[in-house]
Amino acid sequence: MGHGHGHGHGHGMSADVPASASWRYSRRLAVAFVVLLAFFVLEALVGYFASSLALLSDAGHMLTDVLGVGMALAAITAARRPAAGKRTFGWYRIEVLAALANAVLLFGVAVYILVEAIGRFQEPPEVAGVPMMLTAAAGLLANLVVFLLLRKGAGESLNVRGAYLEVVADSIGSVGVLLGGGLSLAFGWYLADPIVAVAVGLWVLPRTWKLARQALRILVQQAPEGVDVQAMRDDLGALPAVTEVHDLHVWTLTSGMEVASAHLATPSDADHGEVLVAAQRMLAERYRIEHATLQVEPVECARRCEALTW
């Protein structure tokens, strides 16, 4: 269709974190995954047998930590695998699909907890306070261990930071369960259990919505948040020798990996190489987009694009 096809530099996890660092964080994430999974099973079983809705709610929240850490681990592993065959974009979207599945599961857990809690307000069952508090304390300890494992990586890796924030939020839920167990044990006030469960459920729902919205934005290839597409079009059009910008697309491949493509029309005698380099530099400096596929073409060739209906 035109001349001067150009490509920006590809980027992914390896662009944010050196290979050795990625490997170190992947091992830490694997340890964190095992610790959280073990304590999720413990909390779920004790919560069920102790009739503690608050502990079950916290177990559901810890499940989000398990999934969040698992997704971060999968993302780092996938980033090390080159695209091959028909998978020209590699496996990056698996992280997004897992995030959407995580959101759906979280929503179901939160709604179940809230519905169950309403019934318990009318007739709160007796809760085994000691097992509930011991298990919640063990869960809080597990979160603190994972917190220490991921704290350093959270400053260097976007995926690790997401898992780290999940653990921080879950620690708050564990503290709430301890508070509810203490009130039940000290004063026999069993309403504390469903109240804490509702509080944890209401804490989870907004985060669930945010996670689902972020995943859907990526899956429908919407422009990344914070990127003004019209401003980008204007900036490309203001480059020397560029007379028109069309077929501009900006989307997110997976968390922290924004990409763009565009056609840049120029006069026939323009130096396409200079235009390409200038456009790549501008996108990298102003929009932090390192991977851009740009087609620089004579303005006469742009008429072919006008005939396309999409």
> Using N-to-C axis directions, what is the helix angle for 93-122 and 192-219, rounded to 10°?
160
Residues 235 and 208 in one domain: no
Q: How far is CA 16 from CA 20, 73, 76, 141, 233, in A?
A: 12, 15, 11, 30, 27
- Looking at every residue in the chain, the average pLDDT score rounds to 77
Residue 193 C-alpha from the chain's centroid = 31
Residue 45: pLDDT over 50: yes
In a domain, 1, yes or no: no
What single DSSP character describes residue 250?
E
248 and 176 part of one domain: no
> What number of other Cβ atoms are within 10 A of residue 176's Cβ?
22
Range scoring the smallest mean pLDDT among 139-143, 271-275, 303-307: 303-307
* In a domain? residue 5: no
Residue 147 lies in a domain: yes
| Residue 44: pLDDT over 80 | yes
Are 54 and 159 members of one domain?
Answer: yes
Out of 200, 219, 238, pick the residue that ends a domain. Answer: 219
d(CA 230, CA 129): 58
Quote the pLDDT of residue 192: 74
Query: Residue 185 is part of a domain; what is its CATH number?
Result: 1.20.1510.10
- Nearest 10 degrees: CA dihedral of 227, 228, 231, 236? 40
pLDDT at 148 over 90: no
Number of domain units in the chain? 2
Are both 144 and 30 inside the same structural domain? yes
Instruction: Find the domain containing 195 and state its range.
Output: 16-219
Residue 11 located in a structural domain: no
**Which stretch of 11-25, 37-51, 67-81, 274-288 has the lowest confidence by average pLDDT?**
11-25
Stretch 176-191: mean pLDDT, rounded? 74
DSSP assigned state of 14: H
Are residues 149 and 85 part of one domain? yes
5-7 and 257-266 strand pairing: unpaired
Same domain, 236 and 210: no
Q: Are 78 and 210 contained in the same domain?
A: yes
Residue 113 lies in a domain: yes
Report yes or no on 83 lying in a domain.
yes
- Do 188 and 297 lie in a common domain? no
Q: Calculate mean pLDDT across residues 56-60.
A: 77
Do 121 and 213 sit in the same domain of this protein?
A: yes
Task: Report pLDDT for 150.
Answer: 77
User: Does residue 120 register a pLDDT over 80?
Assistant: no
- CA count, 13 A, side-chain hemisphere, 209: 6
* pLDDT band at 118; cut points 50, 70, 90: confident
CATH label of the domain that carries residue 277: 3.30.70.1350
The identity of residue 58, as a single letter, is D
**Where does a domain end: 169, 191, 219?**
219
Examine the domain organization and report whether 242 and 182 are in the same domain: no
Question: Could you tell me if residue 208 is inside a domain?
Answer: yes
pLDDT in tens, 122-137: 766 666 567 767 877 8
**Residue at 9 is within a domain:** no
SS3 300: helix
Who wins on pLDDT, 30 or 160?
30
- The residue whose two tokens read 């000691």 is 130
Which of 258, 292, 257, 218 lies closest to 76, judged by CA? 257
Same domain, 154 and 242: no
Domain end, chosen from 188, 219, 250, is at 219
Q: Which pLDDT value is given to residue 43?
A: 82
pLDDT tens readout for residues 218-235 = 888 999 888 999 999 999
One domain, residues 130 and 199: yes
Give the tokens for residue 189. Answer: 């006030």
Is residue 205 scored above 50 in pLDDT? Answer: yes
